[in-house]
Homo-oligomer: A and B are copies of this chain.
Amino acid sequence: MKEPYIFELAMDVRDYEVDAEGIVNNAVYLHYLEHTRHEFCRQAGFTFRQMHAEGLDPVATHIDIHYVRSLGLGDRMMSRLWLERKGPRFVFHQDIFTPGDELVARATVEIVSFEDGHLSRGERLASAFASYLK
């Protein structure tokens, strides 16, 4: 847990996110991760809606996620992230913990940005994220 997190969001499991095995379905974690990134962006001063309106569309190109511990009905989680830039790619390091700091899931999410429909070099995202980039 020495990861240099720069953002944290508390979330509750919603009952409809739990599947027939009694645990949160693996696809739902990608929603948690996306929602965390978007809330981070909102805190950073720009929303998904604004970006979309300005022709800037971030798109995930690679997600790697390890499921360490299951979440179930009524559980709460702490979702944390930090990010780094690798040329045109932005790598979000995103981990989800129980309130007691036990690791639930560990993910990296790579994002590129399209500008007016074309793959960009990421300059606009980089300037938006400037104060958060490692």
| A38 at interface, CB cutoff 8 A | yes
Contact yes or no, A34 B15, CB < 8 A: yes
Partner pick for A23 among B21, B27, B49, B59, CB 8 A cutoff: B59
Give the dominant DSSP class at A's interface: mixed
Contacts of A42 in B (CB 8 A): 74
A18 and B20 contacting across the interface, CB-CB below 8 Å: yes
Q: Is the CB of A60 within 8 A of B26?
A: yes
| Known A-B contacts A30-B30, A63-B26, A63-B65; A52 and B20 likewise in contact (beta carbons under 8 Å) | yes
Do residues B67 and A61 form an inter-chain contact, with CB atoms below 8 A? Answer: yes
Q: Nearest B residue to A68 by beta-carbon distance?
A: B61
A67 touches B62 (CB 8 A): yes
